[in-house]
Structure 1
Amino acid sequence: MSLDQILRNRVKEKLANDEVVASMTVRLVRHVEIARIARTAGFDALYVDVEHSSFGLDTTGQICMMALEVGIVPFVRVPSNTPDYISRALDGGALGVIAPHVRSAEEARAVVSAAKFPPFGERGISAGLPHLHFRSFPTVEAFAALNAATMVVVQFESADAVEQAEEIAAVDGVDLVLIGTNDLMADMGIPGQFEHPRVRDAFARTIAACRKHGKHVGVGGLSTRPQLMAEMVGLGARYVSTGTDLAFLLGAATQKANQVREINIP
């Protein structure tokens, strides 16, 4: 099997074809079955949220490796945008890193540098990666393939980031900007006000900047607002973070419990 056959990022392929990508967030389930469940459910990607969970990198790597095996693209949202977290998450099996709270082009460039191998970054060499089925390939070929497949996702979660959208979107190596709507609203002083004009303006400005520089936009935090989510996709967003495993489990469980309570006893 060739390197190209082994190493594919289907999310990148779908985005390149202007298709919508459905992603789920893993924050509760610590076992590899969650990757198979996500695949069976029809998701294109999952991301393990190490920023907002107690997951360690061992658990994260196991889930990412299972995702690779079942054909779903694994990302990891790191708790801090430092090279040690980024490189270890990627070495463990992730095909992309989600960097939270990016506010400037300088910060975006630092994430790219930590995520990419030379000559595009400073990620350290590691042999026998799970992405390559633990096989060895010539270094130059492996670097090129891994750099091409590995996605860098930066999150906009502040008004400062939106103000710098043009500069951040222009950074070489950034693939996608994921808007964290809840944190963005909180930073703007309008927590929970999804219909506020500033929310739509933030999406519109970010989408315009990314479109200008050939980058993609993702929607996060709108799982309870499907109409607004659809509106943002209509504006040009293509990566949709649909919600967490915790929310899915609790929502379905609550629905079933309510169904039983509503049964009328003759």
Structure 2
Amino acid sequence: MADDAPLLRNRVREKLARDEVVASMTARLVRGVEVAQIAASAGFDSLYVDLEHGPLTIDVTGQICMAALAAGITPLVRVPALTPEFVGRVLDAGSLGIIAPHVHSAEEARSVVRMAKFPPLGTRSAAGHLPQFGFRSLPAALANPALDAATMVVPMVETLEALAAVEEIVAVEGVDMLLVGTNDLTAEMGIPGEYDHPRVRDAYARIIAAARGAGKHVGIGGLAGRPDLVAEFVRMGARYVSTGTDLGFLAAACAAKAREVHALAR
């Protein structure tokens, strides 16, 4: 078995290759493997662990990623900093992709690719027994290409600088998709939270056109409360939808249930 070429399934990559829409949820609150099983049972294609805006540790992140792998959905991780000690460790812990915040240029995108990919494209260090292969020992000549093929690199477009360089960023070899950070982008534009502003639509149009032109994809982030805009941008060509966080889902469900009970008295 150890001499067989390994097969790693990445549902996100497979659906994007078919030009299908991917549904993803974000883990920011739940500190256990349950969140991965809940995401899978709910029908999500992907779960991404948010280390940029949450208190979760790399240890917990690895447990969630392994649970997602076992459940058949794609684990991704948004790292808090674009450094090898985060990128390399979360990949070795079981992630099948890096969501990279604060990428401002093509050179910064290339830097993330180098950290996430093995030579010759990158400089990722071989770790040996990995959860992606069920901790089997595999020859590097087999394991490294399989990991490279399954591992996604997703720079975020959330600054004006990144928007201005989007064509160069998405053209970087090894970049699979761009994820639009709509909240940070509107703040940079001086219109925080004004999602209906024409500049937001223009930004999405430019990003989607650049990605499509490069044979890549676009993800929608920060618009969990605006399904109308999500639908509009999907029609424009975006294919990955970040639907919200476990914390947001819990808070919304709790508030709805409290309103329901209080309404009984009326």
TM-superposition CA deviations, 1:163-210 (whole Å, max 9, x none): 101100110000000000000000111101001111001100001111
Kept after mapping to 1: 8 A contact 2:27/2:50: yes
SS in 2 for 1:252: helix
TM-superposition CA deviations, 1:60-108 (whole Å, max 9, x none): 0000011001111000000001111100010000000000011100000
Kept after mapping to 2: 8 A contact 1:216/1:238: yes
Which residue of structure 2 lines up, in the alignment, with residue 146 of structure 1? 147
Which residue of structure 2 lines up, in the alignment, with residue 78 of structure 1? 79
Distance, in Å, in 2 between the alignment partners of 1:179 and 1:224 is: 15
Give 2:115's aligned amino acid: A
Q: Does 1:195 align with 2:216?
A: no
Query: Structure 2 unaligned runs (5+)?
Result: none
Distance, in Å, in 2 between the alignment partners of 1:25 and 1:94 is: 14
Kept after mapping to 1: 8 A contact 2:49/2:78: yes
Kept after mapping to 2: 8 A contact 1:3/1:132: no
Q: TM-score, normalised by structure 1?
A: 0.97
Distance, in Å, in 2 between the alignment partners of 1:203 and 1:39 is: 29
SS in 1 for 2:264: coil
Distance, in Å, in 2 between the alignment partners of 1:53 and 1:250 is: 16
Q: TM-score, normalised by structure 2?
A: 0.97
Which residue of structure 1 lines up, in the alignment, with residue 70 of structure 2? 69
Kept after mapping to 1: 8 A contact 2:208/2:237: yes
1:153-232 aligned at under 5 Å gives the runs 153-232=154-233
1:88-99 aligned at under 5 Å gives the runs 88-99=89-100
Distance, in Å, in 1 between the alignment partners of 2:5 and 2:10 is: 12
Give 2:107's aligned amino acid: E
Give 2:27's aligned amino acid: V
TM-superposition CA deviations, 1:34-81 (whole Å, max 9, x none): 000000000000100000011110010000011001111000000001
Give 1:14's aligned amino acid: K
Distance, in Å, in 2 between the alignment partners of 1:188 and 1:3 is: 48
Distance, in Å, in 1 between the alignment partners of 2:234 and 2:245 is: 19
TM-superposition CA deviations, 1:109-141 (whole Å, max 9, x none): 000000001111000110000001111122111
Kept after mapping to 2: 8 A contact 1:25/1:243: yes
Distance, in Å, in 1 between the alignment partners of 2:262 and 2:250 is: 18
Which residue of structure 2 lines up, in the alignment, with residue 19 of structure 1? 20
User: How many matched pairs?
Assistant: 264
Identical-residue share of aligned pairs (%): 61
Kept after mapping to 1: 8 A contact 2:128/2:138: no
Which residue of structure 1 lines up, in the alignment, with residue 138 of structure 2? 137
Distance, in Å, in 1 between the alignment partners of 2:199 and 2:160 is: 10
In the TM superposition, residue 264 of structure 1 has moved relative to its aligned partner by 3.5
Query: Structure 1 unaligned runs (5+)?
Result: none
Which residue of structure 1 lines up, in the alignment, with residue 252 of structure 2? 251
SS in 2 for 1:109: helix
Give 1:74's aligned amino acid: P
Kept after mapping to 1: 8 A contact 2:99/2:154: yes
SS in 1 for 2:153: strand
Give 2:180's aligned amino acid: I
Kept after mapping to 1: 8 A contact 2:6/2:143: no
In the TM superposition, residue 3 of structure 1 has moved relative to its aligned partner by 4.2
Distance, in Å, in 2 between the alignment partners of 1:82 and 1:39 is: 30
SS in 1 for 2:225: coil
Distance, in Å, in 2 between the alignment partners of 1:60 and 1:225 is: 28
RMSD: 1.0
Distance, in Å, in 2 between the alignment partners of 1:18 and 1:222 is: 21
Distance, in Å, in 2 between the alignment partners of 1:213 and 1:136 is: 36
Kept after mapping to 1: 8 A contact 2:15/2:21: yes
In the TM superposition, residue 4 of structure 1 has moved relative to its aligned partner by 4.0
Give 2:125's aligned amino acid: G
